[in-house]
Chains A and B, each alone.
Chain A
Amino acid sequence: MSESIKINVNGNQIESAPNKLLIEACEDSGIHIPRFCWHKRLDPVGMCRMCLVEIETPRGKMLVPSCTTEVTDEMVVDTESEVVKKAQEGVLEFLLINHPLDCPICDKAGECPLQDQTMAYGPGESRFVEEKRHFEKPISISEIILLDRERCILCARCTRFSDEISGDPLIEFIQRGNKTEVNTFPNEPFKSYFSGNTVQICPVGALTSTSYRFKARPWDLKSVRSTCNGCPVGCSTELNSSQNKMLRILGIDNDSVNQGWLCDKGRYNFEYLNSEFRLKTPLKKLDNEFMETSIKEIYTELSDLISDSNTNINFLIGTNSTNEDYVAFNEFAKNFPSTNQTFYLNDDYLYAGFFEKGINRATIDDLNNSEAIVIWSEDLKENLPVLYLRVRQAVKNGAKLIVFGHSNSTLKDIADFYYSDDIVSENFEIIKDISKLKGIKEHVKDKNVTAIIGKSTPYQLDENLDKLVSYLVENSNSKIMNAFSSGNTFGAINNLDNVKNLRDFTKNVSAENTDLLFVVGSDPIGRSVFSNEIHRIIQDIDNVVCLDLFLHETSELGNYIIPTSSTLGEKEGTFTNIEFRTSRIDKLVPSPGQSLSDWEFISGLSNFCNFNNNIDSLDGLNELAYQDFDDQDSPSFKNLDKPSNFDGIINDYQPNISTELNENLTSKYFVGKKLYGDNITIRYSDSISLLGAKQFIEASESTIEKLNLSSGECTLKQNGHNVSANYVVNNKLADGVIFIPQNRRNFNRFDFSETIEISPNQSKEALNVN
């Protein structure tokens, strides 16, 4: 790879790695060749013909597209000759003859490659006097994407993205020649978890998002680089705002993490920031009514409680905080020996994980360099979407894929071995000798393996994962990635001294041993499978302080409500991702009303109580978080703000998880989370709020037949709790397995260890007694 070859471009010698595409080799040496269809992360198609250059061949100079031509030693290239200029001007004129001149009302105007390259390379005026091609102005091709076919220049970026990268080719070319258009298939909308990426890479304003449409002009946008805290992948993002309102999130091409892509939840789950329902003032509950109060009054009342050192305090902490917030809580808790520095994390999937010595930790890039990838975890596509894309990419590059369990059925199509029903029980327990499985013998034993391991459901017993991991550690050169799936989990487990999960909360916390409970950015009652138990516990506790963005099922039970700033766009700090890569979270917009960051609240309270915690500045917290590292490797603000570290710094943390074993926990159903759920933030983000609203269950055709379902709807009943739902056929599920999405409304209230009666909904005619 270290070899390089020399090519001559416009009379200058440049060096390039062999087999590189000419357009890339030139780009690396600072020579820009205009292009529309070529995109670094997509296979070249050579369709737009904008990147034509002249190369010398034995038969004279030849025009070739630089996006499909590989460099060869001693190649002589001219990117600026008269012939090249004429061809580029010609292509631009061709593209423009049918492109509408609606730049003044086009969202893309101002950051439009077609506009920019027309200025740089195009003809000054049009010679086209005929009527332009017309299509119906934007048609909606999904709930969140609109398509204006008149603006489309048919570069195939969107169609290639959905085919090559996300693997759901729902958007395609139809018709041919001058009538060619991009469109979806009849009755099949562009329902992809990654559809927003096509809007970002569209070189014109053909694809637009409902959330950004007509909201701003690019030259009015303010922007910062940040990290998405939606899941532990931690994609690099650019946040855009105008007039102090967050309006758009774009993916930044972080080569080691997201390579420019984002999932649609990460991209569109921001409108809640501007919601009128955001909490803006501190509230206090009096006679079951919330009254507005001042932060000072809350501090006074809490400090009275806290000053008694016998006060028993517990923390239920969400995964949406920054590392600095976690450090503040950790320092604060040191004042209360009764807490044992224990923090209950708002996650019912969290378990001890595999972090011991002897286990090599994997980075996302390791996927590309491994011979085999073994996955046994929650559904990656639903929970760690961009990691799912990276797995797809690695498989495309030749890695063998071995999937256990039926939670990752979305990978079944590209998996070399998909071990579900006969290998794994309904409760995700391996029931055969792993070493005897064909795929394992062939592709895992003594090979370089990257494994993605996590709990497939909250009910999966830890020991089952142990079995697979110990096999891998003993028999292969393996690296393990612990697939926790909530927000900044890895930041929490690094910065909090002792972390437990929600199951532990239900077992350990009660009104008897808790005088004061802090609930930080968590809605376990609305989301966890332990909802009922947690509801009972919190209800009985006398003093509950909730730090949150909204009032929801859990925060409604608080006695004190503190409005907080969102980690998305309203705070500064750091975030640690699934590979222990720490990167910057940055602030772009002000938070509403009297909102405080978590650490600001805790620091204020600490000062009010006269504790000597030294947690009163963000920089101080940041230093405290990384004090154990050498100055050079430390992901301190100072280091992260160097351009070379924008992609984050990986460190070797020793996390502190002490979850208890979850024996005796069983489920009769396959319980999992969907990407879009009934989360409070999604509920208040208008563009995507409906995507998480549908209530449904999944089962194979034969299972559905056995349940006698036929009307398309059914009712789930258990102890007076009824949920009406659709059912969806998913034949990738084994017979008898019924999937229930725990993060759709009201499903998590069921007791999954007991039978839920599923009966067909009676049709309306039958109910009509008249």
Chain B
Amino acid sequence: MKETLLLTKHMRENPEDSHLIDSYEKNGGYETARKTLINGSPENVLEEIKVSNIRGRGGAGFPTGVKWGFLAENEDRYLVINADESEPGTFKDRILLERDPHQLIEGIIITCFAANIENAFIYIRGEYAKPARRVQDAVDQAYQKGYLGKNIFNSEMNLDLVVHLGAGAYICGEETALLNSLEGRRGEPRLKPPYFPAVKGLYMKPTLVNNVETISSVPWIMENTGKEYNKLGVEGSTGTRIFSLSGHVNNPGNYEIEMGSSFGEFVESLGNGIRNNKKVKAYIPGGASAPWFRGDQLDIKMTIDDVANNNSMLGSGAVVMMDEDTNLVNAAKSIVSFFAHESCGQCTPCREGTTWLEMILDRVASGRGRASDIDLLLDVCDNISPGLSWPPKMTTICPLGPSAVSPITSLMNDFREEVESLIPTKVLL
């Protein structure tokens, strides 16, 4: 199995200076944007994106062309790049920001051209200090060159691009919370409806919110046509994806591959297998909020639909391997702790429920559990995500609460004995 380098080609080939504009331009950078702006039309760009069948890389996998099509007709509209990459196990946007920021900027220019947008924002998580510096430098360079600002490439198009840093909240990766945060409010998800920021987004104006990887793919699609992109991968999951592989593997890292191979194949070849030749006990196919797969499910294909059909999600492309020695209760606890810590506190079930789950798991993991705790865990989960089904139903505003439920249901469905073994048996009198 081999990588297919579209988005990471330039950074792999120019590891020293891929983030600089000279290097980027030397390798043909900004040519696509220039051509598109001068010779192309917005309709044409939208058509290519639709033909490419690219689906959003942030996690939900929503078809990008369809999303762009939702954009309500209005004079003021915005593009917001969601670079608040905070899902545990995910670190793919980081390299795109840090090592190829101009590719993203070029993608932004083309996207804004297609959607008739004059103001764009990149919302970067506060912890990404170096990537943010690199992006800011790149934006400054692009402004100097006249690729941003007024009359880009001497065309009619104007575009202002602002880099904004978050303040350390996972929830700001949720697009409406991101918009609130960008507006200077508390980072709390908005009520739905309105269902799509494309209708009412930033400052209640039509807004496209797209992931870094999605928009970074735009220059390649425009250069090579949507049809070529569509040929890569498999139906429903076209193109390449950068998977962040971590956990108990020998070679963790970011790998750009065409979608369609199995998780097992991916881990064996590119990940070079599990460390110490251990077996996989369980793995997370798409970030901390995704339900787990068992070690005997490694033949599931790495496509959005295959993973979904097996009741989990490919999500943000974070693959986390857990070997046979892993204490899965501790693993679940650490994920639940994360969500409890990151809950915005807005709605009751998530604010109170996630912390309670954390407390119960902590009790169980440290051998102080009670026999009733397993039922209690499941019932508290059920009060956050009624029915414990996938995709989750929820009593909350956004899916953060139900995300904390995923590892627990995985644990209970497939590894219940492991939990039970940690609960001390009652002394019979």
A residues bordering B, Cβ < 8 Å?
44-50, 52, 62-63, 68, 83, 86-87, 89-91, 93-95, 97-98, 127-128, 130, 153-154, 173, 175-180
Whether A49 and B355, one on each chain, are in contact in the complex, defined by CB atoms closer than 8 angstroms, is no
**B163: shortest Cβ distance to chain A, in Å?**
24
Of residues 175 to 226 in B, which have CB atoms within 8 Å of A's CB atoms? Answer: 186, 191
The 3 closest A-B pairs by CB, nearest first: A90-B383, A180-B345, A94-B352
Per-residue CB contact flags for chain B residues 376-417 toward chain A (1 = under 8 Å, else 0) read 100010111010000001111100000000000000000000
**Could you tell me if B352 and A49 are in contact, using CB atoms closer than 8 angstroms?**
no
- Would B349 and A177 count as touching, CB distance under 8 A? no
Give the segment of B127-135, B251-259, B300-308, B335-343 that binds chain A: B335-343
A175 proximity list for chain B (CB < 8 A):
345
Q: Given that A45-B191, A49-B395, A128-B356 are contacting pairs, would A94 and B345 also be in contact in the complex, using a CB cutoff of 8 Å?
A: no
Which of B348, B359, B386 has the largest count of A CB atoms less than 10 A from its CB?
B348
Q: Contacts A90-B395, A130-B359, A178-B340: A49 and B347 contacting too (C-beta < 8 A)?
A: yes
Q: Which of A46, A91, A153, A176 contacts B344 (CB 8 A)?
A: A176
Residues in chain B near residue A173, CB distance under 8 A: 186, 345
The B337-372 residues at the A interface (CB cut-off 8 A) are: 340-349, 351-356, 359, 372
Residues of A within 8 A of B396 (CB): 49
**Contact: A48 with B348, CB < 8 Å?**
yes
A91 B395 Cβ-Cβ under 8 A: yes
Question: Is B169 interfacial (CB 8 A cutoff)?
Answer: yes
Complex CA distance for A94 and B350, rounded to whole angstroms: 9
Select from chain B the residue with minimum beta-carbon distance to A174: B186
Q: Known contacts A49-B396, A127-B376, A177-B342; is A95 also within 8 Å of B347 by CB?
A: no
* Pairwise interchain contact A177-B383, C-beta atoms closer than 8 A: no
B169 lies within 8 A of A176 (CB): yes
Q: What residues of chain A lie closer than 8 Å to B386, measured between beta carbons?
A: 63, 83, 86-87
> Complex Cα distance A128/B380, Å?
11
Contacts of B356 in A (CB 8 A): 94, 97, 128, 130
Indicate if the CB atoms of A63 and B395 lie closer than 8 Å: yes
- Determine whether the beta carbon of A91 is less than 8 Å from that of B349: yes
Q: Does the CB pair B382–A154 fall under 8 Å?
A: no
Determine the chain A residues whose CB is within 8 A of the CB of B352 once the complex forms. 94-95, 97-98, 178
Pick from A48, A63, A178: contact of B347, CB below 8 A: A48
In the complex, what distance in Å separates the CA atom of A210 from the CA atom of B345?
A: 29
Once bound together, how far apart are the Cα atoms of A142 and B108, in whole Å? 49
Q: In the bound complex, how far is the Cα of B346 from the Cα of A46, in angstroms?
A: 9
Distance (Å) between the CB of B290 and the closest chain A CB? Answer: 21
- For B340, what are the chain A residues with a Cβ–Cβ distance below 8 Å? 177-178
Find the B residue at minimum CB distance from A62.
Answer: B393
Residues of B within 8 A of A91 (CB): 348-349, 383, 395
Knowing A63-B386, A128-B356 touch, does A178 contact B345 (C-beta < 8 A)? yes
Q: Report the minimal beta-carbon distance from B140 to chain A, rounded to whole angstroms.
A: 33
**Given contacts A46-B191, A63-B395, A175-B345, A87 and B359 within 8 Å (CB-CB):** no
Contact between A95 and B348, CB atoms less than 8 A apart: yes
Chain B residues closer than 8 Å to A50, beta-carbon distance? 348
23 A/B residue pairs, CB under 8 Å, sorted by A? A45-B191, A47-B347, A89-B383, A90-B380, A90-B383, A90-B395, A91-B349, A91-B383, A94-B349, A94-B356, A97-B352, A98-B352, A130-B356, A130-B359, A154-B345, A173-B345, A176-B343, A176-B344, A177-B340, A177-B345, A177-B355, A178-B345, A179-B345
Determine how close the nearest CB of chain B comes to the CB of A47; give it in whole angstroms: 5
List residues of chain A with CB within 8 A of the CB of B191: 44-46, 68
Count the B residues whose beta carbon is within 8 Å of the partner chain — how many? 33
Residues on A with beta carbons closer than 8 Å to the beta carbon of B393: 62-63
| Complex Cα gap A179–B380 (Å) | 19
Bound-complex Cα distance A128 to B379 (A): 12
In the complex, the answer to whether A177 meets B347 with C-beta atoms within 8 Å is no
Question: In the complex the two chains form, what is the Cα distance from A178 to B348 in whole Å?
Answer: 9
Docked CA distance A515–B276 (Å): 112
Residues of chain B with a CB closer than 8 A to A94's CB: 348-349, 351-353, 356, 383
Which A residues lie within 8 Å of B353 (CB)?
94
Bound: A130/B386 CA distance, A: 24
Contacts of A95 in B (CB 8 A): 348, 352
Minimum C-beta distance from A48 to chain B (A): 5
Bound: A414/B347 CA distance, A: 31
Nearest CB in chain A to that of B397: its residue: A46
Q: What residues of chain A lie closer than 8 Å to B348, measured between beta carbons?
A: 47-50, 91, 94-95, 153-154
Query: Contact between B347 and A46 (Cβ–Cβ < 8 Å)?
Result: yes
Contacts of B355 in A (CB 8 A): 177-178
Query: What's the least CB distance linking A22 to chain B, in Å?
Result: 13
> What is the minimal beta-carbon distance from A680 to any residue of chain B, in angstroms?
45
Tell me whether B351 and A177 are in contact (CB under 8 A).
yes
Q: Which residues of B contact A83 (CB under 8 A)?
A: 386
Query: Quick one: which of B171, B186, B349, B376 has the most chain A CB within 10 A?
Result: B349
Known: A68-B191, A86-B383, A91-B383. Is A180-B349 also a contact (CB below 8 A)? Answer: no
B160 to chain A, nearest CB (A): 28
Given contacts A45-B191, A49-B396, A178-B351, 14 further A-B contacts (CB under 8 A): A47-B346, A47-B347, A48-B348, A63-B393, A68-B191, A90-B349, A91-B395, A94-B351, A94-B352, A127-B376, A176-B169, A178-B340, A178-B343, A180-B345
With A and B bound together, what is the CA distance between A52 and B380 in angstroms?
Answer: 17
Closest residue of B by beta carbon distance from A89: B383
Closest A residue by C-beta to B353 = A94
Which of A68, A89, A176 has the most CB atoms of chain B within a 10 A radius of its CB?
A: A176
* Chain B residues near A68 (CB-CB < 8 A): 191
A177 touches B343 (CB 8 A): yes
Known contacts A49-B395, A63-B393, A95-B352; A176/B345 CB under 8 A: yes
> Measured between alpha carbons, how far is A130 from B396 in the docked complex, in Å?
23
Kindly state the separation between the CA atoms of A180 and B345 in the bound complex, as whole angstroms: 6
A180 to chain B: which residues have CB within 8 Å? 345, 351
What residues of B have a CB within 8 angstroms of the CB of A177 in the complex?
340-345, 351, 354-355
Most chain A beta-carbon contacts within 10 A, residue among B191, B345, B352, B353: B352
CA–CA, A182 to B171, complex, Å?
A: 20
The chain B residue sitting closest to A70, CB to CB, is: B193
In the docked arrangement, what's the CA distance between A500 and B397, Å?
61
- Whole-angstrom distance between the alpha carbons of A96 and B394 in the complex? 20
How distant is the Cα of A130 from the Cα of B359 in the complex, in angstroms? 8
A contact residues around B351 at 8 Å (CB): 94, 154, 177-178, 180
Contacts of A98 in B (CB 8 A): 352
Contacts of A86 on B, CB cut-off 8 Å?
382-383, 386
In whole angstroms, how far apart are the Cα atoms of A46 and B191 in the complex?
7
Q: Which of A89, A95, A127 has the most CB of B within 10 A?
A: A127
Query: Please, which residues of chain B bring their CB within 8 A of the CB of A127?
Result: 372, 376
A45–B347 alpha-carbon span in the complex (Å): 9
B343: chain A residues within 8 A (beta carbon): 176-178
Q: Whole-angstrom distance between the alpha carbons of A345 and B394 in the complex?
A: 63
Q: Which residues of B contact A49 (CB under 8 A)?
A: 347-349, 395-396
Give a binary string over B277-300; 1 marks a CB under 8 Å from any A CB, 0 the rest.
000000000000000000000000
Residues of A within 8 A of B383 (CB): 86-87, 89-91, 93-94
Most B CB within 10 A of own CB, among A90, A97, A127: A90
Closest to B343 in A: A177
Q: Least Cβ distance of A162 to chain B in Å?
A: 15
Residues of A within 8 A of B345 (CB): 154, 173, 175-180
A233–B47 Cα gap in the complex (Å)? 62
Give the residue among A47, A50, A86, A173 with the most B Cβ atoms within 10 A: A47
Minimum C-beta distance from A453 to chain B (A)? 36
| A156 nearest CB neighbor, chain B only | B346
Query: In the complex, which residues of chain B have a beta carbon less than 8 angstroms from the beta carbon of A178?
Result: 340, 343, 345, 351-352, 354-355
A635 to B229, CA, bound (A): 80
A94-B340 Cα distance, complex, nearest whole Å: 14
Report how far A389 CA is from B289 CA in the complex, Å. 45
Complex Cα distance, B383 from A403, in Å, reads 52
Q: A756: shortest Cβ distance to chain B, in Å?
A: 44
Give bound CA distance, A49 to B380, whole Å: 15
